Structure 1
Amino acid sequence: MNPQAYLLPLCIGLTLVGLVATVITWRTSKRRGKAVQMFGLALLPVGLYLTGLLLLVWNFVAGIIAWAFALILAPVVWVGLGFVGLAIVLWVIGGIAAARAAAKALPAGTADAGAVAPAPRSSTAQPGTPPKKAAGGKQPADPELDEIEALLRKRGIE
């Protein structure tokens, strides 16, 4: 039998239920915008039927169901699904391996530049003096920053 014979009464029923719900929402609620949205949704089944799109959706769903039944009964389809799954697993493993190779290719000092803590600054540094070696043999902070700190201290800002 033609699927349109089943779809028309179904669409009319869904539209009527939607219209009743819209009227109830309009009268009982102050949310008029929600009621207008419901009215638009209620008209959708009949609009899809009249444009022929509902039959297209019906055929799509029927095709998926037919494919699912063929999947259960055909071992060749199971082998195809196995290949699809294997392809996805290999894609993910390849991406992980490429990311690890890229991380190893970076020089040791550039792996995570944001994680390096700045060296402690000396509170006795004067502008124009060469920076001194810190206790651990590391260079102190930028001399320009030391100069700015000295100017701020001179004005009483800490």
Structure 2
Amino acid sequence: MTSSSSSSPQRHRRGGEKVKEERPRSFDSKAKHMCWTNAQIVPGRHPERWRKDAAGNIVCKRFFNCLGCLCFEYDHIIPYSKGGESVAENCQILQSRVNRFKSDKDGVDTTELKGYSCDIKFTDKELDIVEMAVYGDVIRPGNQCRCRTVAEMLGKHKSKDRMAACKLPQSGESS
């Protein structure tokens, strides 16, 4: 068999006939991991849980492929429909709403992306409540806590866990 000079993957059928393989439409797990890692860190938040998308919106890692304001999708910077490959170098995270509006547009700048963003800005306390609901604890520098069990809340059990139980959302404290 001879090697092809084309950069597209080739496959051979039984008769030696070459058939072009489809290029992958989705990012693989390694590309997604690199994409998340390359996204901007949210100051004061756990980087494996929270990031900022290319438009500066805060997104939560657990909210992948949903449609809320903290939800995100992996986006082809150069759209797949325009030849963009599904590799880490061509990947960015975008708030789902922003990604839907960006669609297959190429060369969209940050200002335009911000125009598609949800108008909701979350406070630290609101993000703590979301993190508590989603992960069962809050991990922030200087403010780490865990969910109380129902038995703890009812005063029937005292936890041996050294991490303090969070006061959220009952706390009247503001951040």
Q: Provide TM-score, normalisation by structure 2.
A: 0.21
Instruction: Kindly indicate which of the two structures has a greater share of residues assigned to strand.
Output: 2
Q: Provide TM-score, normalisation by structure 1.
A: 0.23
